[in-house]
Amino acid sequence: MKVLGVSGSPIPDSNTDRALKEALEATGLETEFIKLKDYNVEPCNACLGCVKTNQCVQKDDGVLLAEKTKEADALIIGSYTPYANIDARSKAFLERLYPLRHNHGFMGGKPGGAIVASCILEGSEMLPPAADMAVNSIKFFMMEENMNFLGEVKVLGNVPCIKCGRGDECKMSAIKMLNGPDATVESVGTNVFEKQPDAINSAKELGLRIKAALAS
């Protein structure tokens, strides 16, 4: 049994990556971690060239990654949330699994899950529900492919403004917007997955649920 973990986060060793690796490890099964930034995956062209062959006609890494996904027994997607939604690499990757759908439904019944790192864990009137938007994109993809969605992990990430160098003076900075008028880069600090017990527990739980589903 093999579990594939695919991260759309471009940041090296990001919160998304580390939470995804935690969930993969908790499965106790053979796993593979894919960082989409290391691959070239265009979005689906909606040409339907994959209908007869179950293979995309585009000549990029999307073909290899779809094949790996087809061969895997379970799939966990890790996304971060630029502009409060699933990141573009993860979205393009999911679109490129369309060839696995026709005639066979190759993803049907496979367990799956979502890992999402965002600055906004809960939406409000003022703030878009970034984590839920990305979780729902992944969850609804899995529902549409008749997969068995087993849960999500929400990790509190960091606004890029904490490291851009102008976080305290830029009028567009998210530091005060998210944390109140007195907040500064220094007072806000850096959020790391390893200091978030709820996120660690849900990552482990997701891995264990996938393991149990594959054993049954």
Q: Checking phi first, is residue 80 left (phi over 0); if not, alpha (psi -120 to 50) or beta?
A: beta
Q: Which is nearer to ligand FMN, 43 or 82 (CB)?
A: 82
6: DSSP letter: E
Nearer to ligand FMN, 8 or 99 (CB): 8
Closer of 59 and 171 to ligand FMN (Cβ): 171
User: Which residues ranging from 74 to 113 are in contact with ligand FMN (CB under 6 A)?
Assistant: 80-84
Interacting positions 121-180 with ligand FMN (CB under 6 A): 130, 157-160
d(CA 210, CA 140): 18
HEC sequence for 126-168: CCCCHHHHHHHHHHHHHHHCCCEEEEEEEEECCCHHHCCCCCC
Residue 120 · residue 177 · CB < 8 Å: no
| Closest distance of CB 105 from ligand FMN, Å | 31
Q: Does 117 participate in binding ligand FMN (rule CB under 6 A)? A: yes
Nearer to ligand FMN, 16 or 69 (CB): 16
Binders of ligand FMN in range 29-58 (CB under 6 A): none
Nearer to ligand FMN, 100 or 155 (CB): 155
| DSSP percent split of the chain into helix, strand, coil, nearest 5 | 40, 15, 40
Write the CB contacts of 210 (distance below 8 Å, at least 6 apart in sequence): 3, 23, 27, 29, 74, 76, 111, 112, 113, 150
Position 16 contacts ligand FMN (CB under 6 A): yes
Q: Select from 76, 120, 161, 210 the one that contacts ligand FMN (CB under 6 A).
A: 120
Q: For the chain, how many helices (H) and strands (E)? A: 7, 5
Quickly tell me which residue has 């007072």 as its tokens: 187
Q: Which is nearer to ligand FMN, 104 or 163 (CB)?
A: 163
# chain residues binding ligand FMN, by CB under 6 A: 19
> In the complex, what is the shortest distance from the CB of residue 202 to ligand FMN, in angstroms, rounded to a whole number?
15
Site of interaction with ligand FMN (CB under 6 A)? 9, 11, 14-16, 80-84, 117-120, 130, 157-160
